[in-house]
Amino acid sequence: MAKPRAESEPLLRRVRGGSGDCPAGLTTCRSVQASPGAAARWGLCIDQAVVFIEDAIKYRSINHRMDTRSLWLYRRYYSNLCQRTLSFTIYLILSLAFIETPSSLSRTADVRYRSPPWEPPCGLTESVEVLCLLVFVADLSVKGYLFGQANFQKNLWLLGYLGVLVVSLIDWTVSMSLLCREPLRVRRLLRPFFLLQNSSMMKKTLKCLRWSLPQMASVGLLLAIHLCLFTMFGMLLFAGEKQDDGQNRERMTYFRNLPDALTSLLVLLTTANNPDVMIPAYSRNRAYAIFFIVFTLIGSLFLMNLLTAIIYSQFRGYLMQSLQTSLFRRRLGTRAAYEVLYSTSGDGGASPRGVGVKPQNLLDVLQKVQLNSFHKQALIEKVRSYGDVPLSASEFQRIFHELDNTLVKEHPPRPEYQSPFLQSAQFLFGHYYFDYLGNFVALGNIVSICVFLVLDADVLPGDRDDFILGILNCIFILYYLLEMLLKVFALGLQGYLSYPSNVFDGLLTTVLLNFLHKWDPQSHLQPLAGTEEATYQMSVELMFRDILEEPKEEELTERLSHHPYLQLCR
């Protein structure tokens, strides 16, 4: 057990020497230039510093194995490919619930038209599931190897991970042996654990809830006592009278017995549909309102707010502690990298006390670190600013303060125009007030559509005259197009595309132009025979054919005889 402990605490045990301190697990780095395998040990020290810095960036624990093979496996495990594969595996095993029997996945939610769900054959989803479980087994094996037996035994999440995998594999074996006809599958209940185990945010949330339970339990006990006392009072007040009329029967249904009275007051405490509980008793005697007012003041306004304050206080305290832990891990990782690089600066431990880390060694490490280009470039420039002066521990830590800076996206420069008129137009159409004008016009477009929908609410779709609305929509769409072109003129094409809101407006304008192209200005006229509109009107007329009265033959003839331009041949 001594070896895993030494690997799990590389910075806690130190060996005092004439030139300073050195981690116990990294003592071989001190004699890089004197040992026969100097190049190999130099590469090992660089890799250790790289891993420590990556741990600091990701707020990971540094208590893991530090030999050459373990470092290679550690970096591959935390690479983007492996982590995305693990995330996809978790997503895949959780998605099996949608197609496994019994499945609720259907094309429609209407039970009248819902077809029988597809039932996968035995072994299809089970084969996918066992592949996911094997990936989880590999994940657990790698973690157990990298962090050592001592840390594995102390980590409750890893122990729970092992127990869930064992139960899942046993349950899967039983399921396959029974040809998928077992009445209960325990492993389905354990699947969310894979998501919890892989998410640090969910782990922190559950840990905070666990810490908050004692304080929440005390307030919950007060709420339970409050409910029980007022339940007894309510039963004595409202359930002791005779049921002489319907109003009393309605009132006493809420306080008929202990479970009903407790449920009614719980509804009243949560203010969910509380008038149903209060109004019947209040209608009988207005003095009963005092009971409900006192109950609400103590329960809803005092105890519930106290519970909310406790939850907020606990989460806020845990948040600060979590941030403090993250900061400590970052500083510890960078300090570990400094110790490793510092151990390579001397000759057999005889270096003077003032010697620190060579900037060139840190630059070699930063070239291998997996980091976004913005922060990597900032760190490299910060290191180069020191020249060839060795870095002390405090200077080394200050360099990595650049990781706390966020990337501020700079928009491309605006085009330059020589004409004063174009410069004025560029200032006008590039101002944020012009965006406010566009938002105001879009609001007017929405209001106009709502007004027409309200006016035509009682009109059948085939009888609506959308000509005016179509004209208004054309005007608005043309304004959107003009706004887009003016912004491109003011900001430039790259500057226009650098704003996500402008990209969204441009795509929306393009879609609206497509609708403008398909809009028919003659749609308000009578439809031609054979079109869908004419067929719809004919179907509507057939619906009311029994109600309509057919005109008589004499009326038709008389009307035709008075036609001024029609000459009938007799």
pLDDT by position in tens, the chain (length 570): 334 333 333 333 333 333 333 444 444 454 444 445 677 888 888 899 999 999 999 989 888 888 889 999 999 999 999 999 999 999 999 999 888 877 777 777 777 777 777 788 888 899 999 999 999 999 999 999 999 888 899 999 999 999 999 999 999 999 999 888 888 889 999 999 999 998 888 888 888 888 888 888 888 899 899 989 988 888 877 765 555 555 555 556 677 778 888 888 888 888 776 677 777 777 777 888 888 889 888 988 888 888 888 888 888 888 888 888 888 988 888 888 888 888 876 544 334 444 788 898 899 899 999 888 888 888 898 899 888 888 888 888 888 888 877 766 778 888 889 889 999 999 999 888 999 999 999 999 999 889 888 888 787 777 777 788 888 888 898 999 999 999 999 999 888 888 888 898 888 888 888 776 555 555 444 444 444 444 444 454 444 445 556 665 566 566 656 655 444 444
Contact (Cβ atoms closer than 8 angstroms) between residue 376 and residue 58:
no
Distance (Å, rounded) from C-alpha 437 to C-alpha 444? 11
Name the region of 392 (left: φ>0; alpha: ψ -120 to 50; beta: rest): beta
Distance (Å, rounded) from C-alpha 107 to C-alpha 114? 7
Paired strand residues for 391:
357
Q: How far is CA 10 from CA 25, 55, 64, 65, 340, in A?
A: 5, 14, 9, 9, 10
Full-prediction pTM beyond 0.85?
Answer: no
Distance (Å, rounded) from C-alpha 473 to C-alpha 363? 60
Residue 22's H or E segment, with its range, is strand 20-23
